[in-house]
């Protein structure tokens, strides 16, 4: 059976001779591994390189086993490689994709999120910490871990002009009265508005907001800690990104 799909390469593992195994976030099947015969060199090498976005033709022999028949690059994102900080963030997004995106299921929104994030990184106009927080929180939301950012989880109050407090372990909000002795992250009105926006806005608009420098660093801290508590993983690429900052 032949499958035609587009997808972004999120990992490549060289095998002996000229072969490699690539891991791809595909539109049709989510995250899958593909055996790419002879693709280390030759006509398929750039379309199957890390972070390339390509049209792929695959042979599916049995169940979840795929062999590459053809690959044509749609976009290579060359500019990611001009800046190590940007490249390490893009590689972190690839790692997150592997952890959080569907398998053997459609991944339209996940794919367009990652493509938009990479476009913005290449363009260099948007603050990269916004790109990082949006990608983290929206991927978590799509994976079923949307934080409960509506109101205080205990009393239901939504004090529109007061700071609330976020629990990065449960993804819940508390008001000053209900938080008790819990160690929580203060969430100013601006940060909370940004978090709600990231989780709920239409996919094509989620990167379009701005925040004060203080708000941005709070958002960054909250989204990263929440992501780590959900995935319970250490991301090598994130550590590298932080060293580059």
Give the shortest CB-98-to-Zn ion separation in angstroms: 37
Partners of 166 in the beta sheet?
A: 173, 185
Which among 19-27, 89-97, 144-152, 219-227 is the span making contact with Zn ion, rule CB under 5 A? 144-152
Alpha carbon distance 81, 34 (integer Å):
24
Residue number, 70 or 154, with CB nearest to Zn ion: 154
d(CA 141, CA 147): 7
According to the binding rule CB under 5 A, does residue 84 interact with Zn ion? no
Rule CB under 5 A: say whether 201 interacts with Zn ion.
Answer: no
Provide the H-helix boundaries in the chain: 84-100, 108-123, 128-142, 189-200, 213-231, 236-244
216 binds Zn ion (CB under 5 A): no
Length of the chain equals 245
155 binds Zn ion (CB under 5 A): yes
Q: Which residues contact 62 (CB under 8 A, 6 or more apart)?
A: none
Q: Considering the rule CB under 5 A, would residue 175 count as an interface residue with Zn ion?
A: yes
Backbone angles phi, psi at 159, to 5 degrees: -80, 105
Asked if 187 is part of the footprint of Zn ion (rule: CB under 5 A), the reply reads no
* Smaller CB separation from Zn ion, 34 or 152: 152
Is 178 near Zn ion (CB under 5 A)?
A: yes
Footprint on residues 45-64 left by Zn ion (CB under 5 A): none
Phi, psi at 27, each rounded to 5°: -65, -40
* Stretch binding Zn ion (CB under 5 A), from 106-114, 147-155, 165-173, 201-209: 147-155
Please name every residue paired with 164 in a beta bridge, in sequence order, or none if there are none.
187
- For position 72 contacting Zn ion by CB under 5 A, the verdict is no
Query: How many residues contact Zn ion, by CB under 5 A?
Result: 6
Q: Is 152 in the site for Zn ion (CB under 5 A)?
A: yes
Q: What are the backbone angles phi and psi of residue 175, rounded to the nearest 5°?
A: -90, 170
Nearest-approach distance from CB 24 to Zn ion, in angstroms: 45
For the bound state, the minimum distance from the C-beta of residue 174 to Zn ion, rounded and expressed in Å, comes to: 6
- Region of 71-79, 125-133, 169-177, 187-195 interacting with Zn ion (CB under 5 A): 169-177
Q: How far apart are CA 145 and CA 182, in angstroms?
A: 21
Binding of residue 154 to Zn ion (CB under 5 A): yes
**Which DSSP state fits 29?**
T
Question: Given the rule CB under 5 A, which residues bind Zn ion?
Answer: 152, 154-155, 157, 175, 178
């Amino acid at each position: 059976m032949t499958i035609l799909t587009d997808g972004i390469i999120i990992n490549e593992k060289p095998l002996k001779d000229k072969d490699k195994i690539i891991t791809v976030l595909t539109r049709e099947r989510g995250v899958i591994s593909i055996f790419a015969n002879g693709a280390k060199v030759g006509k398929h090498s750039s379309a199957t390189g890390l972070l390339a976005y390509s049209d792929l033709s695959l042979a599916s022999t049995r169940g979840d086993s795929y062999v590459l028949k053809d690959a044509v690059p749609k976009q290579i994102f060359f500019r990611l490689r001009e800046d190590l900080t940007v490249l390490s963030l893009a590689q972190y997004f690839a790692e997150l994709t592997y952890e959080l995106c569907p398998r053997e299921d459609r991944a339209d929104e996940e794919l367009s999120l990652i493509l938009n994030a990479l476009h913005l990184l290449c363009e260099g106009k948007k603050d990269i910490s916004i790109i990082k927080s949006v990608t983290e929180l929206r991927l978590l939301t799509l994976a079923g871990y949307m934080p409960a950012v509506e109101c205080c989880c205990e009393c239901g109050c939504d004090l529109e002009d007061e700071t609330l407090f976020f629990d990065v372990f449960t993804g819940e909000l508390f008001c000053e009265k209900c938080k008790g002795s819990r160690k929580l992250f203060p969430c100013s009105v601006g940060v909370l508005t940004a978090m709600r926006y990231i989780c709920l806005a239409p996919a094509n608009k989620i990167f379009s907001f701005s925040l004060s420098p203080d708000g941005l660093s709070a958002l960054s801290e909250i989204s990263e800690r929440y992501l780590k508590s959900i995935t319970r993983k250490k991301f090598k690429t994130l550590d590298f990104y932080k060293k580059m900052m």
